[in-house]
Amino acid sequence: MSPRRLKSSTGQVNGIAPTLMLEKSSGIPLHKQIYSGFRAAILRGELVPGQQVPSSRALTVELGVSRFPILEAYAQLHAEGYFETQAGLGTFISRLLPVSNASSSPRIACIVGSRLASKQSERLPAFEETPWRYGQGAFALHQPALDQFPFRTWSQLVALHSRRPRADAFHHVDPLGLGRFRTAICSYLRTSRAVRCEPDQIMIVSGSQQALALTSRVLFDPEDPVLVEDPGYPLMRSVLLGAGCRLVPVPVDENGMNVSAAIELCEKARAAFVTPSHQFPMGSTLSASRRLQLIEWAERSGSWIVEDDYDSEFRYESKPISSLQGLDISERVIYIGTFSKVLFASLRLGYIVIPKDLVERFIRVRLAMDIFPPYLYQEVLADFMERGSFIRHLRGMRALYQKRRATLVDSLEKRFGDDLAIHGAAAGLHLCVTLPKGFHDLEVAAKAAEQHLWIWPLSSCYLECAPQQGMLLGYGNTPVEQVAKGVKQLQSVLSRCHA
């Protein structure tokens, strides 16, 4: 339907109105319907710049509605610049609107799959909805025992800080995070992880991923070479790929990253990213000699070490291994930790221990990235730590996971004997099982997912062509009574998979 000319009561042409289909029972206020009708007609080019629109009185008669909604719609159209008033003459479609845009030819939205985006986003792996990433239950990776979390204590603290937050919690927009929370973390790290730190070199972040992203922005520019463990953590590599770094993959053995090989491969690397407590995914521990060798290299070549201590709290055959950071007296280590594996992942809280002379750089980058962290969980977790609930929970979980791990190792050995090799069971929340030749772990993972077993394929952790196929089995959120059943199902999956 096209716009119609309205005549005044004296028969004079009195502006052009679009066809307005007003629906009184639609729930949308009349003024809004009128406003939208005019706006749409202008955008479609049915009303063009310079055209007169009916006076509000004329439109009242035409539409048979009260004048108020019309006046309100007109005021809005004026405010937004669609209408203009010419004194003594009336109201017109603004002549400042570009004519070409208001042409009557319909424009087709040019949604094609390949509009110009950045090269840096092109370098990142495409997003895939892989089932093992998002599944919940048996063997899922990086999931703590949610059913054992002390929600009662926790929610009391949450309620306390939510009812009437401290004014300074609201206003303390510190890019490092809440002071008392940093103090609590500092004292925990000194005691439990032998980290050398002060609260003012700790930055609260939304998890270890943000820590890695921040660190890479502070340290690297495109083309910088960086040493990474291979196999390693895929999302860590994404950070470096996004930053345009040149990744130098370093082999891993039962003593963690092969540091001699790393130095030989690229002595001038800007940094080395390591998971010394429990190498991801193989689970080995970086030996003391390699730790010292790595620190010596960093000092000599002016490089950095990024220590991702993602699940160091859980170690079953000795005390937790002290951090690499604590060995380093030349402040070459950036230490990253997270609460996701100890409490729960959707908490989104982690921390970075930053060498003192880099703190200001981290703040600059943080301000540009997301300014400062949300306050509530910082307050809650500070209390949780100060009251000892954190350490108690940790202790309880260590015992629980030890049991789950032992059950899983037993079940695997009973069912598979020497057919499967188990790696990295001394610590953490997962172990790695390598498959005999002829198996494809992606196929195994896909078939397992059909049985609601969430298994990460080892090959997805390799930067280069995977020399072995395997499965990462998480046991943090897999209760003892599910383990044997899960392993049995897994056996049946494998029997349908081998080459």
Within 340-359, which residues bind a copy of itself (CB under 8 A)?
A: 344-349, 355-358
How many CB atoms sit inside 10 A of residue 443's CB?
16
Phi, psi of 94 (to 5 degrees): -60, 135
User: Cis peptide leading into 374, omega within 30 of 0?
Assistant: no
Among 57, 65, 101, 97, CA closest to 80: 97
Type of residue at 156: Q
Of 10, 105, 121, 495, the one binding a copy of itself by CB under 8 A: 121
Q: Which residues of 146-167 are buried (b: 16+ CB within 10 A; e: fewer)?
A: eeeeeeebbeebbeebeeeeee
The yes or no reply on residue 289 touching a copy of itself (CB under 8 A) is yes
In angstroms, what is the minimal distance from the CB of 180 to a copy of itself?
15
**Please, are residues 309 and 278 in contact by the beta-carbon 8 Å criterion?**
no
Site for a copy of itself in 216-245 (CB under 8 A): 217-222, 224, 235, 238-239, 241-242
For residues 90 and 234, which CB has a smaller minimum distance to a copy of itself in the complex?
234
The yes or no reply on residue 50 touching a copy of itself (CB under 8 A) is no
In angstroms, what is the minimal distance from the CB of 419 to a copy of itself?
29
In angstroms, what is the minimal distance from the CB of 430 to a copy of itself?
17
The yes or no reply on residue 27 touching a copy of itself (CB under 8 A) is no
For residues 89 and 96, which CB has a smaller minimum distance to a copy of itself in the complex?
96
Q: Which two tokens stand for residue 300?
A: 């000599």
Of 182, 193, 270, 404, the one binding a copy of itself by CB under 8 A: 270
Site for a copy of itself in 60-79 (CB under 8 A): 72, 75-76, 78-79
Q: Which two tokens stand for residue 498?
A: 């081998």
Which of the 8 DSSP states describes residue 456? E
The yes or no reply on residue 269 touching a copy of itself (CB under 8 A) is no
Of 66, 85, 86, 155, the one binding a copy of itself by CB under 8 A: 155
Q: How many CA atoms lie within 13 A of 391 on its CB side?
A: 12
Site for a copy of itself in 360-419 (CB under 8 A): 360-361, 363-365, 367-377
The yes or no reply on residue 80 touching a copy of itself (CB under 8 A) is yes
**Please, are residues 284 and 295 in contact by the beta-carbon 8 Å criterion?**
no
Which residues, at least 6 apart from 495, have a Cβ–Cβ distance to it below 8 Å?
Answer: none
Phi, psi of 349 (to 5 degrees): -135, 130
**Please, are residues 205 and 351 in contact by the beta-carbon 8 Å criterion?**
yes
Which of these ranges, 293-301, 408-416, 465-473, 489-497, lies near a copy of itself under the rule CB under 8 A? Answer: 293-301
Site for a copy of itself in 178-217 (CB under 8 A): 205-207, 209-210, 213, 217
For residues 357 and 418, which CB has a smaller minimum distance to a copy of itself in the complex?
357
